[in-house]
Amino acid sequence: MIRARPLEGAEVYEGVRVIRARPLEARRPSPLFVARSVRHSLRRFAALLVVFAFAGTFLAGSSGPVARAAPVTTNFPVHADFRPNDPYYVDQWGLGKIGAPNAWDVTLGAPSVVVAVVDTGVWWTHRDLQANMWTNLIDGSHGYDFIDGDTNPMDNDPQGIYHGTGVSGVIAALIDNGQDIAGTAQVHIMALRALGLNGQGSSLNTSQAIRWAAQHGAKVINLSLGTNETFGGPTDIQLAVDYAWSRGALVVAAAGNAGTPTIDYPARLPNVVSVAAIDETGQKAAFSNYGSGLDLAAPGDRILTLSGNNQVHYLRGTSFAAPFVTAAAALLLSVDPNLTNVELWNILNSTAVQPSGGASYNTDYGWGVVNAWNAINALSQPFISVNAYPTSVSRSSTFSVTWSILGPTGTAVTDTHVIWGTSSGQLGNATPAQTGQTHESYTAGGLTLPSGSDTLYFKVVATVNGTHYESREYPVAASNLPDFLFVLYQLLASNLLYLALFILALAAVVAFIPQRRAARARRAGFRAQTVYPNYYVQTPGASQPPPLPHPPPTATPVHPRAESPPIEFIRPTTPTSTPTAPATPMPATTMAKKRCPNCGTMVNADNMFCFFCGNPFR
């Protein structure tokens, strides 16, 4: 073996370098050596920490339950956040207030959904609206002008308000086109001009426009108009609204801008969705009407919308709150075109948000501020829509409740029924369970108001895919009408025109009965062949004797029936056989008169009965 010559500092073998330590006092360590030593120490320390960590995990697992990994959610939908590039979108605060941006991730709207705007017309050539105008396939027009009677419903407003154009812009201005504003729903606008240049109009033109819209396929009709007058009976507008409702259209109207607790007409009609206004703080606008019968609220202050001549401007009022609700309904129809007007209304009411956070109804906001995202999201899961039930019933009659279960089509419904009771929140009774599928109609019959109760409360419950769902609570009040009148009223109330005709006919019958009785009493006093009147009325002038009758028959005279008192008349005197000189005419005298307390007819003071109505005087 060959040994290398030893060196002072290190021994070197071929391919190997060995560091041999020397006494510290003999040689000072170099800085490089110190740095390398520190690094090696840190690495060893880190390795020890890792070993202890693994050991601790092992010991913890051996002394306690094994931690199981949470299930991993996969295959869930994702989407890109949509933000339109319309330059004035940043100032359209109302869209965010109703959840429109989230709703747009599901649908921007469908051109097959037609919304009618009954207003001052629409500036339909506006660059930010024209592509969303409805077109009549017959003549190529975009609606009708009921003021001028032509097919050009242009919004020509010398005052520069362009009311109908502003309403239409809130509903359906073009979105993401790099111009002006973003509309709430990309649907088609049917322009119907029923108001003149000053914003005034007649109920005749308005009712004609409503009917025209329903006949030409409008599924939602916006009425940003109204009056604070009160009417005692049906009007032409009410009949037109009922007609549109019967054809499946949802009618939305503004509540009014007087700041009073009374809803304007026609917003207060039963088949109209009434809409109040909120401001940018989310509270009721100071100018907005409110009160009993209010349905929803929506943004209505400082609303940026379209104007004439391709311009935009700010407007305010419940007139511009109503189109937000109209557009939300149009978005729902874009998702599910088979929704009925009752189902649309139920979804909008049930998914609205109260500004105070409560869930109950109040007269300031109705069911709350409309929320398009909540409404659309309701269609992604089972939703119970109560479609028909009576608000009042007679105490002894039975009634039924009809509902449908919306949501994903074809989902199995393993149980659905009505629960009810006589106290709110205490519904301990139930109808028989029913089964079926979503988008089917269900009916529970045989319900009756328990004896001694003034109100019945009910809910509809359902079990779909093992999950329990229920509707809100509905009240049914007791009616004080007799049963037969209530049934007749319910039958006729389905058509207010028939009800009005029935009331007129009933009034005519009531007025005819006394006349009939008086005529029967008059006929009882004399023979049928008597041709001269049984009475005559004296005028203020000279009195004239009645015409001479035919010679009286030899038969026994007919006496009045005991049950019918005699009627006052003048009996002719029988002439004697001895001729006498003609009597000197007596000067005319005015006989005393009195007024019948029953019908008001003036008769002789000594009459025992009124010759007109048969009322006895004594």
Just list the catalytic residues.
119, 163, 319
* Nearest Cα residue to 561 out of 525, 528, 527, 608: 525
Determine the 3-state secondary structure of 91 from DSSP. helix
Q: Are 250 and 220 in contact (CB under 8 A)?
A: yes
Beta partners for residue 205, in sequence order = none
Q: Two tokens at 90?
A: 């940043």
Q: What tokens appear for 478 in the block?
A: 């007791």
Backbone angles phi, psi at 437, to 5 degrees: -135, 165
The CA-atom distances, in angstroms, between 301 and each of 86, 185, 279, 281 are 20, 20, 5, 10
Measured CA to CA in angstroms, residue 101 lies from 115, 214, 327, 476, 519 at distances of 20, 30, 13, 38, 76
- What is the four-CA torsion angle of 181, 184, 187, 188, rounded to 10 degrees? -60
Q: Are 603 and 536 in contact (CB under 8 A)?
A: no
Token code pair at residue 366: 């109705």
Give the residue carrying structure tokens 């030899």: 554
Burial category of 265 from C-beta neighbours within 10 Å (exposed 0-12, middle 13-18, buried 19 and up): buried
Residue/partner pairs of 478-486 with CB below 8 Å, 24 or more apart: 478/392, 478/393, 478/394, 478/395, 478/449, 478/453, 478/454, 479/392, 479/393, 479/394, 479/395, 481/394, 482/394, 483/394, 483/396, 483/397, 486/393, 486/394, 486/397
Are the beta carbons of 278 and 258 closer than 8 angstroms?
Answer: no
Picking from 8, 100, 1, 578, the residue whose alpha carbon sits closest to that of residue 299 is 100
The gap from C-alpha 134 to its chain's centroid, in whole angstroms, comes to 24
Contact of 234 with 496, CB cutoff 8 Å:
yes
Rg (CA), the chain: 44
| Residues 503, 506: Cα–Cα separation, whole Å | 5
* Residue in 266, 215, 275, 274 with CA at minimum distance from that of residue 241: 266
Give the side-chain half-sphere CA count within 13 A for 268.
Answer: 20
For 562, the token pair is: 């005991």
Tokens of 375: 């409404």
Q: Which two tokens stand for residue 542?
A: 């000279």
- CA gap 467, 398 in Å, rounded: 31
Structure token pair of residue 233: 């009976």
Number of C-alpha atoms within 13 angstroms, CB side, residue 489? 12
CB atoms within 10 A of CB 274: 28
